[in-house]
Amino acid sequence: MVHGMPNSTLEASPNAALNKTILPKYMDLPIPEGKIQAMYVWVDGTGENVRAKTRTLDFIPKDPSDLPIWNYDGSSCYQAEGGNSDMYLYPVAIFNDPFRRGNNKLVLCDTYKANGKPADVRGGHLELVDTNKRHSCLKAMEAAKDHEPWFGIEQEYTLLDMDLRPLGWPKNGFPGPQGPYYCGVGANKVYARDIVEAHYRACLYAGVNIAGSNAEVMPAQWEYQVGPCEGISIGDQLWMSRFILHRVAEEFGVVATLDPKPMPGDWNGAGAHTNFSTKAMRDENGIIEIEKAIDKLSRNHLRHIQAYDPKGGKDNERRLTGRHETSSIHDFSAGVANRGASIRIPRGCAEQKKGYLEDRRPSSNCDPYSVCEALVRTCILNE
């Protein structure tokens, strides 16, 4: 059972019902000399969910280019039709595997079609849409590399039971109003800290640059931060941290959702606040560059809203209401220490006259490649 949660809360989960003491005797079996397991991880056609499968290698990869390209069934991932379903996984980043340990690896992959073009998705009568956001983001980061763009993303998420209700909430009611839960301590304030601690440690082991974690405003809602990361690595690391989160929660029989407004009503939504800076912003009197960037962002609000959730703003409509520590989706705003603004300048940065800005608009289920590409193209490349 999850610490502090009765078994009845999780009894619908087959994973929670498994005897967890049996697996270790098999995981402790020695692997033949020279063999490792590499789990390939990729983003599917939803633009939100990850998939994974494992292959055996007879060497320990040091660089993504060492690894073989692998195929998969794109028709089962919303990325191809059954009559032409083969898609390809191109390794782009390697992480230590916190689940199998040893020399085993997690491998983040780009998705490509047989014609060598980035993967796309077909949804009924809809046009094909590019869902390999890394491909375009990498081009932007290469063009902007002399400016040394840094990013940090605050990933909020909500833990659900198998009925898809926030973990620990009464089945036929609601917990007490928001107030005591943020950074809370105590069994009546926080739920499933075990999952949070396991995820944090697994990310550190994997090599994800996780910076911290905390309980959030709505009960059963949590946050962790990834960064600072330079360039494309922020997207790679955040996607892998999400995979690890889902994988850890799976073992506990709990669902981790990135839905930006999992509970309607007087409850906080979930975002992916994105901290961004360039070398010029971090240098003395960098506040001038921060203000220039904010001016550019103010003139490209719609473009960024469209890039900040997988449904082009439809998910964020439920969250960016101007309430619950959000700005309105319809208006751009900025301010020092203002958590109700589109862009927040941290008070410390305003006082030191240098540092970074925080874009509070991205939804919790955003594609970090799309978010960071939009920031770079608007603020650095002036596109």
Q: Which of 366, 259, 352 is nearest to 310 (CA)?
A: 366
Measured torsion, CA atoms of residues 192, 193, 198, 201, in degrees rounded to the nearest 10:
160
How far apart CA 335 and CA 326 sit, in angstroms, is: 13
- Condensed to tens digits (0 to 9), the pLDDT of residues 90-121 reads 999 999 999 999 999 999 999 998 888 888 65
Structural fold of domain 32-131: Ubiquitin-like (UB roll) (3.10.20)
Pairing of strands 120-121, 210-215: unpaired
- Condensed to tens digits (0 to 9), the pLDDT of residues 136-147 reads 999 999 999 999
How much is the mean pLDDT over the chain? 93
| Predicted pLDDT at 321 | 95
Calculate mean pLDDT across residues 334-342. Answer: 94
Distance of CA 302 to the CA centre of its chain: 22
Q: Does 12 have pLDDT greater than 90?
A: no
Task: Assess contact for 52 and 245: CB atoms under 8 A.
Answer: no
pLDDT tier, 131 (very low <50, low <70, confident <90, very high otherwise): confident
| Predicted pLDDT at 182 | 97
Buried b (16+ CB within 10 A) or exposed e, 221-236: bbbbbbbbbebbbbbb
The sign of the CA dihedral 285, 287, 293, 299 is negative
Task: Assess contact for 53 and 39: CB atoms under 8 A.
Answer: yes
| Predicted pLDDT at 17 | 85
Q: Which of 322, 383, 321, 326 is nearest to 359 (CA)?
A: 326
What are the φ and ψ backbone dihedral angles of 130, each rounded to 5 degrees? -65, 125
Indicate the domain borders of the chain. 32-131, 144-379
Q: Does 291 have pLDDT greater than 80?
A: yes
- Condensed to tens digits (0 to 9), the pLDDT of residues 245-259 reads 999 999 999 999 999
Task: Assess contact for 235 and 228: CB atoms under 8 A.
Answer: no
pLDDT tier, 78 (very low <50, low <70, confident <90, very high otherwise): confident
**Tokens coding 281:** 């912003």
Q: Which of 54-58, 72-76, 122-126, 337-341 has the highest mean pLDDT?
A: 54-58
Residue 31: half-sphere exposure toward Cβ, Cα within 13 Å: 16
- Condensed to tens digits (0 to 9), the pLDDT of residues 155-192 reads 999 999 999 999 999 988 999 999 999 999 999 999 99
Q: Does 2 have pLDDT greater than 70?
A: no
How far apart CA 46 and CA 258 sit, in angstroms, is: 13
| Predicted pLDDT at 114 | 86
| Predicted pLDDT at 123 | 45
Calculate mean pLDDT across residues 309-319. Answer: 94
Tokens 């509970």 — which residue? 263
Q: What is the 8-class DSSP label of residue 35?
A: -
How far apart CA 112 and CA 79 sit, in angstroms, is: 10
Helix, strand, coil share of the chain (percent; to 5)? 30, 25, 45
Q: Does 54 have pLDDT greater than 50?
A: yes
| Predicted pLDDT at 124 | 41
What CATH code is assigned to 144-379?
A: 3.30.590.10
| Predicted pLDDT at 171 | 87
| Predicted pLDDT at 126 | 38
- Condensed to tens digits (0 to 9), the pLDDT of residues 201-215 reads 999 999 999 999 999
| Predicted pLDDT at 118 | 87
Q: Does 6 have pLDDT greater than 60?
A: no
How far apart CA 211 and CA 208 sit, in angstroms, is: 9
Percent of the chain with pLDDT over 90: 86
| Predicted pLDDT at 316 | 95
Range scoring the smallest mean pLDDT among 110-114, 152-156, 225-229, 347-351: 110-114
pLDDT tier, 129 (very low <50, low <70, confident <90, very high otherwise): low
